[in-house]
Amino acid sequence: MTEIPRSRWGFALGWIAFSALIIALLIDAQTDNPIVYVRIDLATLTLCTGVVILAAVVLIWRFKRGSEKQLQIEATRIQAQASDERRRFLRRLDHELKNPLTAIHAGLANLADSGSPETRLEALNSVKAQTVRISHLTADLRKLAQLEIGELEREPVDLNEILEEVFMVAEEDARAADRRLNLSIPKAPWPLPKINGDRDLLFLATFNLLDNAIKYTRPGDTIELRAFESGLMVTIEIADTGPGITDEDLPYVWDELYRGHTTRSVEGSGLGLTLVRAIIERHGGQTTIRSRAGQGTVVAVRVPIG
Amino acid sequence: MDTKPKILLVDDEEAIRSNLASFFGRSGFTVEIATDGQEALDKTSHFEPNLIVMDVLMPNVDGREALRQLRQSGNWTPVILLTRVGESTERAMALEEGADDYLNKPFDPHELVARIRSVLRRARPGQPPLSTASRLNSGPISLDRLARRLWLNGEELALTPKAIALLAYLMTHPDELITRERLLDAVWGWDYPAGTRAVDTRIAELRRALDDDPTDPQYIETVPGQGYRFIGTVEAAV
């Protein structure tokens, strides 16, 4: 549903007020001691009232038709946007499949031609790696589709536990050794409240964000995983001092298969953040990202308590 | 006499049939091929396979329908279903219609052969497998697979659906070492980074509920660095 523009509401209210004023004046004129003295007979009064009512009917009809038109325009716009997104998605999917398939073609050619066992083994491993890559892509796409329709398996989830576990896994990552990782979860006056959600999905969302931070930062950078309670929500933030995201890329980072211009070389399916957003939205939460090129990035997810 | 196990491979994709058939051949099986559910049913009667590997999505009679008809006719030939979508509903259906195991596409053929071997080992000729029983007992444990409920000494335990599904998978594969990756694929339906931790979390939940000491387990044994094994004796409830 689209909103009816405020100017239209104002216009309609103005008309109603004006009509009410005229009717009030006309009725006032019929009393024995009118506030505003207008000399008028009953026939004129009936005629004027009729005109005002007719005008109101015409106005309401036009108003309705106008908003329907507005709705139609909005629906067309949403449709156009959806088909735009679909085209972009197909183009990216095509691109994501093209690369591993090209590598597989090359690997198979090497397997068929080459006599040297080393080259054959290398080709074989490369073909295997590429099929694993495509498998991961299809698994992630499937998970995304499932997230849109499937039921969440909700239970009271201890976020403290999840954050500590995700942090522990990240610390075990070899790339984490030369980055400064900090975890900050409130302990006083009380720990984070429980969330009614799907534990495995919330783990995955947090893991993806921290993994991204490790992936897209450089040795020496600082990464912070922090969480706090704010009102009826819990906010989890993953902040880093990495190279940041350009203004050009920033609006698209949540899109399916989107790869930033400077990050194409980094391994990944391009669905990590899309999954995060889908998971958080299924929990009734929101995701936001702020970034400054050259300074770093902070991703925040907010999920409702309860 | 030919002592090689006979496998009936059913898939509508020629590329999958031919590649898997030759892989099965090299793995020491005799292979017969069918292209849809109806052909599978026809061939089962005269080829008499030891095991059927069947795709779910096929034209005409699909894998699910073929399996239902097979079981209705009292045929308990072990069946491994190849599912295309990792949906839990599809896996639940596999259970209801009496598949012995299932594997999500795409899969590694080595994994499929390993599954075939373990199903063949478990199979009791002419008898329904544990995976077709809706209720399983192991000592004081009683599990209703369809209702997804669990009792210990007659008292119902409150567990998450994932934990119950995990226990159901372990109990239908008793004495078998099952890797965390396989549990993740079978119960969660997909693999994700650090996902095997989710398996550990649910195993811990089960152990707490069943009061099973991991250092001296009665039900679930940890095989360090590999996975888990259900060590209790499992029976189908009559």
Dump the DSSP string for A269-298.
-S-HHHHHHHHHHHTT-EEEEEEETTTEEE
Mean pLDDT throughout B218-222? Answer: 96
User: Has residue A92 got a pLDDT over 80?
Assistant: yes
User: Has residue B85 got a pLDDT over 60?
Assistant: no
Mean pLDDT throughout A115-121? Answer: 86
User: Has residue B14 got a pLDDT over 80?
Assistant: yes
pLDDT band per the 50, 70, 90 thresholds, residue A8:
low
Q: pLDDT value at position A276?
A: 95
Q: How close B84 comes to chain A (CA, Å)?
A: 10
A139 vs B112, more confident: B112
**Which pTM does this prediction carry?**
0.78
Point out which residues pair with A230 in neighbouring strands.
Answer: A233
Q: pLDDT value at position A36?
A: 67
A138 vs B1, more confident: A138
Mean pLDDT throughout A176-182? Answer: 93
List the structure tokens of B19.
């590649």
Q: pLDDT value at position A2?
A: 46
- Whether chain B has a CB inside 8 Å of the CB on A139: the answer is yes
Q: pLDDT value at position A1?
A: 44
User: Has residue B4 got a pLDDT over 60?
Assistant: yes
Mutation pick from A130, A142, A164, A274 vs chain B, by most beta carbons of B within 10 Å, is A142
**Of A26-40, A237-251, B113-127, B203-217, the least confident:** A26-40
Alpha carbons within 13 angstroms on the beta-carbon side of residue A190 total 6
User: Has residue A5 got a pLDDT over 60?
Assistant: no
β-strand B30-34 against B6-10: which pairing, if any? parallel
B 24-53 → A contacts, CB under 8 A: none
Contact B191 A155 (CB under 8 A): no
Contacts of B86 in chain A (CB under 8 A): 139, 142-143, 146
Q: What proportion of chain B, given as a percentage, has pLDDT over 90?
A: 62
- A and B: number of Cβ contacts within 8 A: 42
Mean pLDDT throughout B1-18? Answer: 89
Q: Tokens 């909005």 appear where?
A: A74
Q: pLDDT value at position A192?
A: 94
Q: pLDDT value at position A181?
A: 95
User: Has residue A46 got a pLDDT over 80?
Assistant: yes
Q: How close A234 comes to chain B (CA, Å)?
A: 22
- Whether chain B has a CB inside 8 Å of the CB on A156: the answer is no
The pLDDT tens digits of the residues spanning B123-152 come to: 877 778 888 888 999 999 999 988 889 999
Q: Which of B167, B155, B160 is nearest to B212 (CA)?
A: B167
Mean pLDDT throughout A99-111? Answer: 90
User: Has residue B1 got a pLDDT over 60?
Assistant: no
Model ipTM?
0.82
- Whether chain B has a CB inside 8 Å of the CB on A129: the answer is no
Contact A203 B87 (CB under 8 A): no
Contacts of A211 in chain B (CB under 8 A): 193
User: Has residue A196 got a pLDDT over 90?
Assistant: yes
- Whether chain A has a CB inside 8 Å of the CB on B179: the answer is no
b/e map B65-99, b = 16+ CB within 10 Å: bbbbbbbeeebbbbbbbbbebbbbebbebbbebbb
